Amino acid sequence: MVSSVFVIGNWKMNGSTALANEFSQGIDELGSSVAAQIEVALCVPATLLRAFDSPKIRVGAQNISEHDSGAYTGELSADLLKEQSCDLVIVGHSERRHLFGESSEDVARKAAKALANGFTPIVCVGETEADREQGKTFDVVGSQLAAIQNELSAEVLEKIYIAYEPVWAIGTGKTASPEQAQEVHAWIREQLGKAGAEIPLLYGGSVKASNAEQLFQQRDIDGGLIGGASLELNEFINICRAAETVIQNRV
């Protein structure tokens, strides 16, 4: 069973060294409960991977090449990311799928490459608004998941994190309701079979301090992948506090 709550920021193509310093200090000053039961991570632009200085922040990248090295201008390999002391990476974010044409098979190969190099991949899945309106949510999410399940052996599958991020909720302020998110999360957990019990399932899409607690208290929501609200320290700390409240209410 997944017992921690995961609060993972995705800075996308934002942030700065100054902001990284502000977060290092701010997160460091949080109570000790944060380190113990809440996994706080920030997935940041590659140039900021070494900008953090807090043992409470796990730092992650936002993309990884499926190749080991070679003529892939602009790409970053697992070895290059490892040199930045990074062991977490987002793969298949909807912006990578939609703006950069990554297929589910590409995403699955990236997840496999990440795992083979000791990274935890946060695999993103999610339907568009049109998919949802046409009743295709489970087909779309199911085929994104199937690509991952086909590529990864059962033994490594349980080492991934999954983020369910409905595309219509990303950066739009339109959060999925806790019930909508829970419904898809429970379904994903079921599709994953035995590994499902071990895999943290994060919700992403307009998570903020005001809705985090309600989302995180759902049975199959183990935390959030947070975009816009992860760029403001107080807002992000309040999301960590919401995670803390959820943990306290469990016992």
Quote the least distance from Cβ 175 to ligand PGA, whole Å: 8
For ligand PGA, the binding residue among 15, 60, 92, 205 (CB under 6 A) is: 205
Coil vs helix vs strand at 226: strand
Asked if residue 27 binds ligand PGA (CB under 6 A), the reply is no
Q: Kindly state the tokens that stand for 125.
A: 């899945």
Q: Kindly state the tokens that stand for 192.
A: 């994953």
Asked if residue 104 binds ligand PGA (CB under 6 A), the reply is no
3 state SS for 143-190: HHHHHHHHHCCHHHHCCCEEEECCHHHCCCCCCCCHHHHHHHHHHHHH
Per annotation, catalytic residue among 165, 185, 213, 244:
165
For ligand PGA, the binding residue among 207, 212, 240, 243 (CB under 6 A) is: 207
Asked if residue 60 binds ligand PGA (CB under 6 A), the reply is no
Task: Mark 212-251 with x for binding to ligand PGA (rule: CB under 6 A) and - for no binding.
Answer: -------------xxxxx----------------------
Give the orientation angle of helix 209-216 with respect to helix 233-250, to 10 degrees. 30
| CA–CA separation, 3 and 184 (whole Å) | 19
Asked if residue 41 binds ligand PGA (CB under 6 A), the reply is no
Closest to ligand PGA by CB, 78 vs 229, is 229
Output DSSP code: residue 222. Answer: -
Please spell the DSSP secondary structure of 100-146, one letter per residue.
S---HHHHHHHHHHHHHTT-EEEEEE---HHHHHTT-HHHHHHHHHH
Catalytic status, residue 105: no
- Dihedral (CA of 62, 227, 25, 57) sign: negative
For ligand PGA, the binding residue among 131, 165, 213, 244 (CB under 6 A) is: 165
129 Cβ contact partners less than 8 Å away, ≥ 6 residues apart: 167, 168
| CA–CA separation, 193 and 37 (whole Å) | 25
Quote the least distance from Cβ 232 to ligand PGA, whole Å: 11
51 Cβ contact partners less than 8 Å away, ≥ 6 residues apart: 17, 20, 21, 44
Closest to ligand PGA by CB, 92 vs 205, is 205
Quote the least distance from Cβ 83 to ligand PGA, whole Å: 25
Closest to ligand PGA by CB, 160 vs 226, is 226
Catalytic status, residue 93: yes
Asked if residue 10 binds ligand PGA (CB under 6 A), the reply is yes
Per annotation, catalytic residue among 39, 93, 102, 185:
93
Which residues contribute to the site for ligand PGA (CB under 6 A)? 10, 165, 170-171, 204-207, 225-229
What residues act catalytically? 93, 165
